[in-house]
Amino acid sequence: MYNRILSLAPSNTEILFALGLGDRIAGVTTFCDYPGAAGKIPKAGSWIHVRDMEKIRKLNPDLILTSMYVPPAVKEWAEKNNVRLVNLFPQTLKGVYDSFMMIGVLTGTGTKAKEIVSDVKLEIGRIQELAQRKRPKIYTEEFHRPPTVAGNWVPELIKAAGGIPMIKEGKLSPEVTLKQVEKFDPDIILLHWCGFHDKSKKEDLLKRGWRNLRAVKEKKVFAVDDTFLNRPGPRIWKGARLIQDIIRKA
């Protein structure tokens, strides 16, 4: 049984808390801001920049959970000290559910993990049932420098909400050009830049020369909380609901 878990991704931290394991988390990242109790846990660094191995040594983890990216120094330290490191790399909703189950199995909370998966699937199913016949094309921007369209599981959330994504699910988020976005001609643009919460700046589209896109001219550009779309955690279904609310509003 693992009792000192180091979570190096906000999504993993949310999963651990949802499984009732908050008291077994030894350390988190500076990006781990949900639930509120995560703020009281010692910080090991940011999601990508974790270099202070002395700090990690003091946290004395017996399990390290990463997501998508494994800091090289952490990997080396874990191997040298015989500490188990598990990197979760979901790229679809099924992959997200598998992540819940993996953490559940590792921590002896498999039954609770199954419940969370069922709950998330149920919520996404309800959202699909409420989708309107009108299916707008939606460009979702995960980051702005350079412009990057959201891939992985986000296209599935868009489809569940009743929209048409620019790219298919299951692939890493690619950089895009204005010409590619013009060809897609989105009805709606959603900005959910990583780490910005709901503070993505719509004006950035004008500065980069995207002012002639139809969605920009029709003022159908929305900045939304990135944590609901970018984090493959238990709140991921809220990303689909957020998109659906915007479809109705637009």
How far is it, in rounded angstroms, from Cα 122 to Cα 132? 18
For the stretch 57-73, pLDDT in tens is 999 999 999 998 898 99
Give the ranges where 45-91 is alpha helix by DSSP (H).
53-59, 72-80
pLDDT digits (tens, 9 = 90+) for 110-123: 999 999 999 999 99
Please tell me the predicted confidence (pLDDT) of residue 226: 96
The correct answer on CATH 3.20.20.70 for the domain covering 133-249 is: no
Residue 86 has phi, psi (to 5 degrees) of -120, 120
Q: Which residue from 30, 6, 74 is spatially nearest to 195, judged by alpha carbons?
A: 30
Tell me which residue has tokens 């990197």: 87
Average pLDDT over residues 47-57: 82
Residue 51 pLDDT level (bands cut at 50, 70, 90): confident
CATH 3.40.50.1980 in the chain, residues?
A: 5-124, 133-249
Which CATH architecture fits 5-124?
3-Layer(aba) Sandwich (3.40)
Q: Is the pLDDT of residue 142 over 90?
A: yes
Q: DSSP secondary-structure letter at 172?
A: P
pLDDT at 63: 99
Rounded to the nearest integer, the mean pLDDT of the chain is 96
